[in-house]
């Protein structure tokens, strides 16, 4: 497949976050609410703030991590009248939102005059029946950074049937990303993990508030790579081999990792293109599984948690109950492993999980 066939026009950007920023700016969206799921990557939230808008966080389905039409309708109803001006609708984990659901979300956006930004950063090539992720939004955004379906280390892409002249002007007006920005991004990522892995500290809200105004050009800037457009076009012209490899390796993960009371598989359907291979663990075993895997140099990650604390929203109500139950459910359970990884590495990961099970039983 060639994703450029999904829409009439395209524009290459330095990263997908920058794409979201210039879409909002070029459409004159400022001082409004932008609906986003509470488990969306922080890199997609900062552009909402930097364009003078406020993210309106919503919940997700607890088994897929995706927005449903009912959840979206509820989020729209909670926004002050006329304030919900845009929405970022991602296909999380490479799982394509069902056609009937995305059609209902599209209809709500049309009814309420909400700009629909379809986020396909982790779902290039994913489909559901005859619907392909990226074909419903007013704008569709793709990413080519680390671990994405097509990984060239950087870059974003906007696809749209609308005129792109204003988008180009917005993009060219941005400052060029610097070496300092790249260093700050690497530090930001390490800091995020440090804070995530130390939940008992109470400084995180102060840290995030202090950083917010300092990292604008990390997430919103113009790429210095003059050949980026050519690289992205070449990589996306025929990504079928990459997509097939991801799907085949996902099947191998599913075959080798045994499902039981403590570990179950995230369900990928036929048209999905797994971003990483995801499993669910029982909340009581999750930390032990992570520590066990890390001690054996297994590249395990826990994307995506509730991102709202970075933006001043704790994520729980005064009683300690989650504001976003679906997001919380996933945050307490999901773990993911690399794709593509190769058969040897997948077997090593599966064996490490089996070893944890044996040790846990013996210690129990």
* Ordered domains of the chain (ranges, CATH): 3-176+224-235 (3.40.640.10), 239-363 (3.90.1150.10)
**Exposed, middle or buried by CB within 10 Å (0-12, 13-18, 19+), for 198?**
exposed
If we measure between CA atoms, which residue out of 297, 292, 299, 289 comes closest to residue 332? 289
Tokens of 218: 């990390």
Q: Reply yes or no on whether the pLDDT at 360 is more than 80.
A: no
- Write out pLDDT tens, residues 313-341: 988 888 989 999 999 999 999 999 999 99
Angstrom distance (rounded) from CA 101 to CA 92? 14
Q: Which ranges constitute the DSSP H helices of 174-318?
A: 179-196, 204-212, 216-219, 228-236, 240-256, 283-295
**Exposed, middle or buried by CB within 10 Å (0-12, 13-18, 19+), for 351?**
middle
Angstrom distance (rounded) from CA 262 to CA 177? 44
Q: Reply yes or no on whether the pLDDT at 5 is more than 70.
A: yes
Which strands form 84-90's sheet, in the order they lie side by side? 9-13, 156-160, 139-143, 115-119, 84-90, 33-37, 54-58
Query: Would you say 252 and 342 are in contact if contact means Cβ atoms under 8 Å apart?
Result: no
Query: Would you say 263 and 278 are in contact if contact means Cβ atoms under 8 Å apart?
Result: no
Query: Would you say 312 and 348 are in contact if contact means Cβ atoms under 8 Å apart?
Result: no
Burial pattern 47-77, b for ≥16 Cβ within 10 A else e, equals bbbbbebebbbbbbbeebbbbbbebbeebbe
pLDDT band at 362 (very low <50, low <70, confident <90, very high): low
- Write out pLDDT tens, residues 181-218: 999 999 999 999 999 888 889 999 999 999 999 999 99
Query: Would you say 287 and 268 are in contact if contact means Cβ atoms under 8 Å apart?
Result: no
Kindly list the distances between the CA atom of residue 3 and the CA atoms of 95, 207, 282, in Å, as whole numbers in the listed order.
Answer: 16, 39, 37
pLDDT band at 237 (very low <50, low <70, confident <90, very high): confident
Quickly count helices (H) and strands (E) in the chain: 13, 12
Q: Reply yes or no on whether the pLDDT at 166 is more than 80.
A: yes
pLDDT recorded at residue 197: 86
pTM, to two decimals: 0.96
Pairing mode, strands 9-13 and 156-160:
antiparallel
For the chain, what percentages of helix, strand and coil (3-state, to nearest 5) are there? 45, 15, 40
Place of tokens 């879409």: 23
If we measure between CA atoms, which residue out of 162, 159, 163 comes closest to residue 143? 159
């Amino acid at each position: 497949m060639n994703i450029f066939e999904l829409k009439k026009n395209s524009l290459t950007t330095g990263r997908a976050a920058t794409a979201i920023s210039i879409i909002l700016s070029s459409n004159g969206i400022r001082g409004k609410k932008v609906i986003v799921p509470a488990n969306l990557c922080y890199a997609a939230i900062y552009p909402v703030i930097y364009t003078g808008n406020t993210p309106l966080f919503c919940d997700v389905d607890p088994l897929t991590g995706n927005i449903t039409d009912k959840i979206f309708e509820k989020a729209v109803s909670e926004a002050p009248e006329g304030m919900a001006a845009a929405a970022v609708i991602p296909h999380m984990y490479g799982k394509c939102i069902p056609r009937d659901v995305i059609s209902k979300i599209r209809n709500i956006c049309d009814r309420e005059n909400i700009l629909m930004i379809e986020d396909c950063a982790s779902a290039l090539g994913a489909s559901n029946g005859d619907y392909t992720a990226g074909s419903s939004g007013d704008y569709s955004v793709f990413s080519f950074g680390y671990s994405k379906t097509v990984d060239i280390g950087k870059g974003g892409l906007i696809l749209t049937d609308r005129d792109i002249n204003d988008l180009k002007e917005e993009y060219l007006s941005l400052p060029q990303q610097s070496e300092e920005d790249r260093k700050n991004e690497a530090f930001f990522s390490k800091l995020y993990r440090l804070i995530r892995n130390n939940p008992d500290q109470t400084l995180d809200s102060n840290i995030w508030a202090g950083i917010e105004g300092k990292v604008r050009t990390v997430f919103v800037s113009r790429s210095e790579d003059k050949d980026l457009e050519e690289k992205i076009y070449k990589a996306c012209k025929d990504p079928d081999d990459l997509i097939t490899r991801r799907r085949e390796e996902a099947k191998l993960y599913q075959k080798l990792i045994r499902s039981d009371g403590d570990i179950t598989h995230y369900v990928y359907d036929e048209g999905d293109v797994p971003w990483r291979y995801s499993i669910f663990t029982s909340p009581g075993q999750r930390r032990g599984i992570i520590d066990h895997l890390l001690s054996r140099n297994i590249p395990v990650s826990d994307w995506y948690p509730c991102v709202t604390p970075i933006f001043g929203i704790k994520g729980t109500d005064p009683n300690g109950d989650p504001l976003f139950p679906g997001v919380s459910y996933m945050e307490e359970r999901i773990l993911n492993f690399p794709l593509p990884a190769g058969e040897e590495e997948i077997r090593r990961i599966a064996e490490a999980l089996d070893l944890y099970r044996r040790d846990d039983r013996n210690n129990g």
